[in-house]
Structure formats: C-alpha cells, structure tokens
Amino acid sequence: MSSKAFRIIINGETRELTAPSSLAQLVSTLKLKPEQVAIELNQVVIRRASWESTMLKEDDRIEIVHFVGGG
C-alpha cells in the first residue's frame, strides 16, 4: 500500500514527504532535539505533548524555532 507524496513548507523551504508523518516524526527525521525547539503549525504553536498526535497534511506551513543557550 503506497501513499501519495505531499509537500509541506518548513521555515519557508518546501519539502516533500512520501509517507504520513506526525510532528514528532518530523522532528526525529530532521535530527532535532525536542527540548530545544518550538514548533508553529499554520500559525498555531503546538505543544510538545501534542506532537505525536499532530499529523501533517498537504501544504502545511511549519516554523521551527531553535532555542540557543549561552552567556
């Protein structure tokens, strides 16, 4: 059973996904540390607790903000 590829936009850059994906899977695929990023999906901030259940759809716009520590 194959799924149709669909595109999403991450920080202004178009990406193509070939399988259904949650925000949590996307974070893992991008090799990001969940505790160091915040995600906005279609202009709504998504809490980390909801990443696993939030499925991505065609033309979703995702903004990922990285927290940087330092002094």
Q: For the chain, which domains are there?
A: 12-66 (3.10.20.30)
Residues 52, 45 contacting (CB under 8 angstroms):
no
pLDDT at 15 over 90: yes
Tokens 């160091």, located at residue: 36
Tokens encoding 37: 């990023």
Three-state secondary structure call for residue 30: coil
SS3 41: strand
pLDDT digits (tens, 9 = 90+) for 16-26: 998 889 999 99
Rounded CA separation 12/20 (Å): 20
**pTM assigned to the model:** 0.86
